[in-house]
Amino acid sequence: MAGRKVPKRRRSRGGSGWRSFTIALGVVAAGAILGLAAVTVVVALVESRLPDVPTFEEYARAVPKVSRVLAADGTVIAEFFTERRTLMSPDRIPPLVENAILAAEDADFRTHEGLSYGGIARAMMVNLWKGRVAQGGSTLTQQVVKQVLLGPERTWQRKFKELLLARRLEASRSKDEILAMYLTEVYLGAGRYGFEEAARFWFGKRAVDLDLGEAALLAGLVSAPEANSPLKNPEGALGRRRYVLRRMVELGYAKVDDAERAAAAPVRLWAREDSRLGAAPYFVDAVRREVTRLFGVGRLLHDGLTVGTTLDLATSDAAEAAVALGLSRLWANGRTREADEAAATREDALTDGSDDEGLPEAPHAVEARVVRCDRALGRIEVEAAGERALLDPASLARVVLAGHPDPYAVCAKGAGDLRVSKAPGTTPDGAAAGETRVNAEPGPQAAMAVLDPQTRAVLALVGGESFEARPFNRAIQSRRPMGSTVKPFLYAAALNSGLSANTAVANTAVSFRGGRGRSWTPRNYEGGYDGREYGLAEALAKSVNVVAVKVLSQVGVALVADLLTAVGVDGGIPSDLSLALGSAEVSPLALANAMSVFAANGLHDTPYLVSDVVDADGKSLLAHRSRPSRILPQWIAKWVRGALREAVVSGTAKAAANLPVPAWGKTGTSNRSREAWFAGSDGRRVVTILVGYDDRLPMHGATGGNTAVPFFVDFVKLGAVE
């Protein structure tokens, strides 16, 4: 055996391979742990930057909602919003709406935890294939997250956040709360968000009142609300309705027969605004200002307020028609700016101008030269005060009423044949950006205010011929000398001071020492003195100026001024005898409220337009409460009404004598006929009318009786009184 080589023992490879596998496994495990740690860190980092999940109450406060203004009978007359949306409460979800939307969008909503893993897997395959986020696979919960918390952008980062927030939302909020958010938030076409607004627009009803076919049609709009709009694409809308109805049958939400009937039924669309939306624009603007003053513009545009008002639609319609008819009649019968300016020029040549001392500044109409006309587009371009402007389209009708048979006849005329004034903050259809708009000024404007004297509810406000062209609300914002409408208050104050109702005062000339040491001799409107004695009631009915001045000099200016202040006269009240002739200034609304003291047997209260305000949750934010106070004894109020009835029967307001109502009231004409007034009652409501130019151009020959009373007559005849 010596010398025999012993073979070398081969090294086993088994131990080395196992060690390599172990090392590799360790590396993988370490990588997995590191990867898991990295994912955990990333998730934690992303979660730390996620927005907080709101409670439903927080969501309800934050989401933009539409505010509505209602007439006294509940009719919607205005809406204010940044987005048209009405809140759907979790405890008021209509079962039919819920079943339709779950069938259309997320059948497993009630059982899943916020995510559809099958949907996510399908979406990931599609997205990986296309190399971008092209499909969502979203549950309703994910859609709420996207709509409320994240936004619509399609990125992997946003999708990752959406998944995390969906789980968080499901963990912290009930299914009903999540579904209510969705049904409030989802866009359903035509500028409407949520099922309440969609039901209101598309079918003219509340969501709870939708039938099976209507609920299915709205649910079908979710995927493509504009592309499948029932107006733009009826076939697409019907196809989606059939799909939703079929899914509802499959899921047991609807019976086969019911679904087939719903699928076969014709679609009866409402698809329009509320029928009276846009009514009473001057009244609505006054309400807007009041609500904004009380609660701020943000709450009106955002918080879904319901604003109840005092507007009586029949009264308002009659008032608007009376103003339009009265102005048309004035303009057509020659009450034009051209004629009144010529008359004023002649009168100015005969006076020293002292009558104009202290008059307030006001915007003036200016001469305009027509520079271009386009009959096809309905455009007339003018140059006024060195500036090019576009004549408001509504002004064309006024040009006709002012005596031009064809409004485009002005195109052939020279400078000075047209008078215009500037309209603030509006641009007409077809006007270029920044183009100025002006209004034709053929004649005076008018305003009307109507109150319920017992409650002081404002039933109607008309601030002029056209709110769109002339948004200045003369019924509230104008404060003009009240003329002889001051006399009922003068005589009421005199009687309240102890002067006998049987007192007689002679209509004879009298002089007083006026300002600057000059003598002042008051005159009657007709200019003469008949020398006989007048009882107070007759003097009031016939509006005898000299008697009024004598009575004021006897009882004192302070007593009358105090009464005017007490009844809410809202302009300047002079401290001299000119007060007897109506130099105190007042707005039509304030004068209507002041006259209501006589209709209400001596009681005064504040006029109001807003009766109540309720928030989106139904919580009352404001409710009007009457606070009447006695200003005059009942017998004095009754005495004044009797005298003013005589003013209608045989006095200065006799143009209203033949009305089939127990009308009473007082006319008023200010110095040089700058204002023509009527303030009185149809027996149930108090009405004031103001007629005049905005720049207080004198209206030659105009009086309250021949200029303002006809508006009142039209108002009554047009059906304001039942």
3-state helix/strand/coil string of 659-673: CCCCCEEEEEECHHH
Of the candidates 169, 172, 171, the one whose C-alpha atom is nearest the C-alpha of residue 185 is: 169
* Phi-psi sector, 594: left (phi>0), alpha (psi -120 to 50), beta: alpha
β-pair type (387-391, 437-440) = parallel
Q: What's the pLDDT tens digit per position in 434-487?
A: 566 677 777 899 999 999 999 999 999 999 988 887 788 999 999 999 999 999
Whole-angstrom CA distances from 488 to 395, 450, 640, 647 are 39, 19, 6, 11
CA 598 to the chain's CA centroid: 32
Residue 306 CB partners (closer than 8 Å, separation 6+): 67, 68, 70, 613, 614, 615
What's the maximum distance between 2 C-alpha atoms anywhere in the chain?
176
**What pTM was computed for the model?**
0.84
* CA–CA distance, 669 with 702 (Å, rounded to integer): 8
For every residue of 175-231, DSSP letters joined together read HHHHHHHHHHH-B-STTEEHHHHHHHHHHSS-GGG--HHHHHHHHHHTT-TTTT-TT
Strands 437-440 and 504-506: unpaired
DSSP code for 529: -
CATH of segment(s) 56-63+85-264: 1.10.3810.10
Query: What sections of 533-650 are H helices per DSSP?
Result: 536-542, 545-555, 557-566, 588-599, 634-649
What are the φ and ψ backbone dihedral angles of 669, each rounded to 5 degrees?
Answer: -135, 120
pLDDT tens digit sequence for 75-134: 999 999 999 999 999 999 999 999 999 999 999 999 998 886 655 555 555 555 555 444
Scan for tokens 């130019």, then name that residue: 693
Residue-wise pLDDT for 654-713, tens only, equals: 999 999 999 999 999 999 999 999 999 999 999 999 999 988 999 999 999 999 999 999
φ, ψ of residue 389 to 5 degrees: the values are -150, 160
Decide if 687 contacts 680 (C-beta within 8 A).
yes
d(CA 225, CA 576) in angstroms, rounded, equals: 69
Q: How many CA atoms lie within 13 A of 227 on its CB side?
A: 6
Outline where 251-393 has alpha helix (H).
256-264, 281-295, 297-302, 313-332, 337-349
Average pLDDT score over the chain: 85
Cβ neighbours around 617 below 10 Å, total = 12
Reply yes or no on whether the pLDDT at 534 is more than 90: yes
Q: Tens digits of per-residue pLDDT, 550-570?
A: 999 999 999 999 999 999 998
End-to-end CA distance of the chain: 144
pLDDT in tens, 492-521: 999 999 999 999 999 999 988 766 667 888
402-444: pLDDT as tens digits: 555 566 766 665 434 566 776 544 444 444 555 666 777 778 9
- The pLDDT of residue 11: 52
CA–CA distance, 146 with 154 (Å, rounded to integer): 10
- Domain ranges for the chain: 56-63+85-264, 366-440
Angle between helices 212-221 and 234-250 (to 10 degrees): 110
Q: Is the pLDDT of residue 303 over 90?
A: yes
Q: CA-CA distances (angstroms) from residue 25 to 19, 28, 285, 654?
A: 10, 5, 77, 111
Structure tokens at 195: 């099922």
